[in-house]
Amino acid sequence: MSEKRKELKVSAIENGTVIDHIPSNAVFQVIRILKLEKFENMILFGTNLESKKYGSKGVIKVKNKYFKPEEVNRIALVAPSASMIEIKDFEVINKTVVEVPDEISGIVKCFNPNCISNHERVKNKFQVVDKNNLRLKCYYCEKITAKNNMTFF
């Protein structure tokens, strides 16, 4: 008896970016952080995919889009294990691992409801004080926002 292999592969993209090794529970957060719901080209995503390294993972493929370094660093806030793979003419031209930046602005709200950044037209700004556990110190009120208290714009 022959074993039939039942597998559906997502087609390769000719030009664009593949975001790989996203924790399965963070795929939709990455889509929101990068504002991909407003992007007009093809976007393919998968979640709870098998991963030998992580058990399960998510993947996002974005056609004809290459992300700026500051966009790549945003991903690290919710998917520190993610990698970015740039594709041109179906070939990998660059692969990078995301990295938590030293400073963050315009992505996360301050945890302190009384902070000026939550009431005035002031762009929020944080210093990353702990990259492993992701703890952010507000530039204005100096309160610490932990990963589990983060609210994204």
- Asked if the structure places residue 10 within a domain, the reply is no
Question: pLDDT value at position 1?
Answer: 47
Give dist(CA 25, CA 53) in Å, integer: 16
- Asked if the structure places residue 77 within a domain, the reply is yes
Question: pLDDT value at position 12?
Answer: 82
DSSP label at residue 8? -
Tens-place pLDDT, residues 69-115: 778 878 888 888 899 999 999 999 999 889 888 998 888 899 999 99
How many independent structural domains does the chain possess? 2
Angstrom CA distances, 75 to 42, 99, 136, stand at: 19, 8, 15
Question: pLDDT value at position 93?
Answer: 96
Residues 85 and 139 both lie in one domain: no
0.95 exceeded by pTM: no
Residues 23 and 87 both lie in one domain: yes
Residues 27 and 63 both lie in one domain: yes
Give dist(CA 147, CA 98) in Å, integer: 17
Residue pair 138/115 in contact by the 8 Å Cβ criterion: yes
Residues 85 and 126 both lie in one domain: no
Task: Calculate mean pLDDT across residues 29-40.
Answer: 90
> Residue 61, Cβ neighbours under 10 Å: how many?
21
Average pLDDT, whole number, for the chain?
Answer: 88
Question: pLDDT value at position 151?
Answer: 84
- Asked if the structure places residue 6 within a domain, the reply is no
- Asked if the structure places residue 9 within a domain, the reply is no
Domain that includes residue 65, residue range? 16-97
- Asked if the structure places residue 114 within a domain, the reply is yes
Q: Is the pLDDT of residue 136 over 90?
A: yes
Residue scoring higher pLDDT (33 or 4)? 33
Residue scoring higher pLDDT (62 or 74)? 62
Q: What is the CATH number for 21? A: 3.30.70.140
